[in-house]
Structure 1
């Protein structure tokens, strides 16, 4: 019985040991299970943290992506703005260059206009001086001989004036012309022209005075032409007014030569006529010797009246176009 009990106790003890071992195993496993739960909890916490971090990272990524898109959009806008500014700047530079060129052109035009204005003022002053000088000339007053300024070689003329001329009294010439043509038969045009100025009610205008001078110039030119033709019948008529004046300067010696030649031609014709009746006559003796002795009262003058009619006949036989040296 005791053995059985001991056996039973030993069996129980063994069972108890087994139970203790199982309990220890269970406790160990329970501890392990508890450690695993803690690890699970830890893992769960880490997973939750990872999820939260992933969520936050996702949010951050989305935010970063949005910001990147916004930045890219802003960058594109900035690039477009830069491109627009570059185009505007290029256009502005082109416009500026165009404006500078236009400004240069306007400056050149302004300089040209100023130069033309200065030249116009100079021309205006010169024109006024010319008109004043023309008025002086037309009025028959002395006028400045210098008409070209700025050239040193004309400087000696800048204080010299024309000398008075009695023929430059225009009113007197007009009065004489009016009286002359009024006394003439015909000349209707000349009478009508000069009658405009017979009794002027106002001072004559410059163009009227110049018209008078032009008409007087035409009349004097025609008269001088006739004189030239009569004095130099075999020579050509001068083709300039100065040439005409130069020809007329020689008119007095020419007239003396014509008078002398006419006298010689008449005497030659008279002596030749006498020679036909008195062949032995020596013209040089008759022309140079004194009257024969005892006939001093027979002076040449005493026979002028007797030979005058014959002299007129001789004159009609002379050509009067010969010049004897």
Structure 2
């Protein structure tokens, strides 16, 4: 087997090759497999190593069809199943979870990759700020509704929540998650809240599932130039030094961009590395648990994690105990 050091430049293909024996025979569900994003790139890397079933989840049938075509081109023999999932709506989340629960297979690995970034203020149909609704609350609800399938996989089941270094933009706003219903809205702060929530959700899951044999992780995939940042004006990217005067992406001390494959590698490590299981709840960067990257204390605090769990239960109108 090829030997290499996990780092910033590690690719999804390298990570999946390293853990090929862990992928083989597993049922894996990946959300947010839109073409051109790291979710689909993660799924493609996994598909190359004989999972028993690869479940692809996205909002629209057209994106799912395109994602399935991409996967089948890379790994013609892989078995796939498509799931329409709109995390911004409790109604559609519950419908998708009901469909998953009707299937016979347990879920060995759930990768919560779907998300939105710094979009204009709007409330979901359930009255929750869009980024918080999609990136956290919908993910919280879906994960808990299919938890029976995850725990049915018995020891070794994993839940991976794709967060971001952007968690440092802001903590969870337990008293005002909707930013005064838009009056005080700041898209960066809202994104930070949602990414902090991804990390706190992983901390909660690690604590609540430790006696069940399942583990959870969060991660920062790195800076990757994808359609996720489409709501950020070009001028804002230039002001941050991400784009030069001509609109070209450039690397700086704070922004060293990764390819799609490099951006998907940390997710693969979090999902399959057997050596990190004892560190359930950890936040990975560049495929590492011990990474030295900025980790805000409020995003890994157990009291905050429990407080967010209770808020999330209240928002979805359902309690989940394990």
The alignment's TM-score, normalised by the length of structure 1, stands at: 0.19
Higher helix share: 1
Structure number with higher strand proportion:
2
Q: Of the two, which has the highest radius of gyration?
A: 1
What TM-score results when the alignment is normalised by the length of structure 2?
A: 0.19
